[in-house]
Amino acid sequence: MFTWLKTRWHRTGLTAYISHPDCLKHFMGVGHPECPERLTAIRDQLMASQIFDSLQEVDAPLVTPQQLARIHPPRYVEYLESCSPSVGSFRIDADTAMSPGTLLAAQRAAGAVVKAVELVCEDKAPNAFCAVRPPGHHAESARAMGFCFFNNLAVGVAHALATYKLERIAIVDFDVHHGNGTEEIFKDDPRVMMVSTFQHPFYPYCGDEPLGPNMHNVPLKAGSGGREFREAVETVWLPQLHAFQPQMLFISAGFDAHREDDMGSMGLVEADYEWVTRHMVQIADLYCQGRLVSVLEGGYDLSALGRSVAAHLRALSDL
């Protein structure tokens, strides 16, 4: 059983909250769970719980072609551009469709993570949360899937490695679905380590056999709740993070493992998200000079999503 670590890095300033109205322009159809109202629900809950006033609000810039190219081949970006409809929608696969506003929203989502990296690495914010959509952790280097087009977090990780010459970056993913895209992108990169939990067997039906020695995936059975999740964090994540001693920490923050979210069949609650976030802040303070960037992934029950993000940001901001 791990106890709280003694903080070795004193964080000052306000947590950056990075988003953009363009992220509301992506629309995959009436009744689709990955809807613009997700971001509205988050903002409303943060305001209602009086957390928003304790954040530094930042507009997400557009990602540049050079920043995308570190992760996604230009031919893949060109393919998405060619699929972008002027009206109606274009379906990439059964789960993933583009509307006229999708490409712009995706460019903002990836740009938000780049901006978060810059703010955190240049000591302009102690840490950052990117409230963006479409999500990204299912997007592989040359494949859109699972509601995702660009792997937002991966673009940010690549920017941190290239621009700030970091040698060790850790990724934490607690979405109910395995972050297959992130794993595919970084499976052969010893500078990057990933720890994750996810429901299994479940979409995208992988992750139980890690693709590389730097991938530490913990599949959880349907019905798993806080006890099983916390055990995975304490017995797998924390030992791996301590051994790796990352210089920066990224979180793929999916909140669809919440017990009220019918996207999956797990039983986490707000207290679990706050608990794991406080542990990750402690890791960042111990090894990363506080450098931590969190990126929204899943979470589709609007009330549970808003409350979970509020708990997450309460921990990031040490409120």
- Token duo for residue 230: 């916390």
pLDDT of 12 reads 75
Q: Which of 148, 157, 161, 95 is nearest to 297 (CA)?
A: 148
pTM score of the predicted model? 0.96
Distance from the first to the final alpha carbon of the chain? 25
pLDDT of 10 reads 65
pLDDT digit string (tens) for 139-151?
999 999 999 999 9
SS3 sequence, the chain?
A: CCCCCCCCCCCCCCEEEEECHHHHCCCCCCCCCCCCHHHHHHHHHHHHCCCHHHEEEEECCCCCHHHHHCCCCHHHHHHHHHHCCCCCCEECCCCCEECCCHHHHHHHHHHHHHHHHHHHHCCCCCCEEECCCCCCCCCECCECECCECCCHHHHHHHHHHHHHCCCCEEEEECCCCCCHHHHHHHCCCCCEEEEEEEECCCCCCCCCCCCCCCEEEEEECCCCEHHHHHHHHHHHHHHHHHHHCCCEEEEEECCCCECCCCCCCCEECHHHHHHHHHHHHHHHHHHCCCCEEEEECCCCCHHHHHHHHHHHHHHHCCC
Buried b (16+ CB within 10 A) or exposed e, 197-216: bbbbebbbebbeeebeebbb
pLDDT digit string (tens) for 34-84?
999 999 999 999 999 999 999 999 999 999 999 999 999 999 999 999 999
pLDDT band of residue 153 (cuts 50, 70, 90) is very high
Is 138 noted as a catalytic residue in this protein? yes
pLDDT digit string (tens) for 269-318?
999 999 999 999 999 999 999 999 999 999 999 999 999 999 999 999 99
Contact 299, 273 (CB under 8 A): no
> Of 26, 138, 178, 216, which one is the catalytic site residue?
138
Distance in angstroms (rounded) separating the CA atoms of residues 282 and 234: 13
Write down the architecture of domain 15-316 according to CATH. Answer: 3-Layer(aba) Sandwich (3.40)
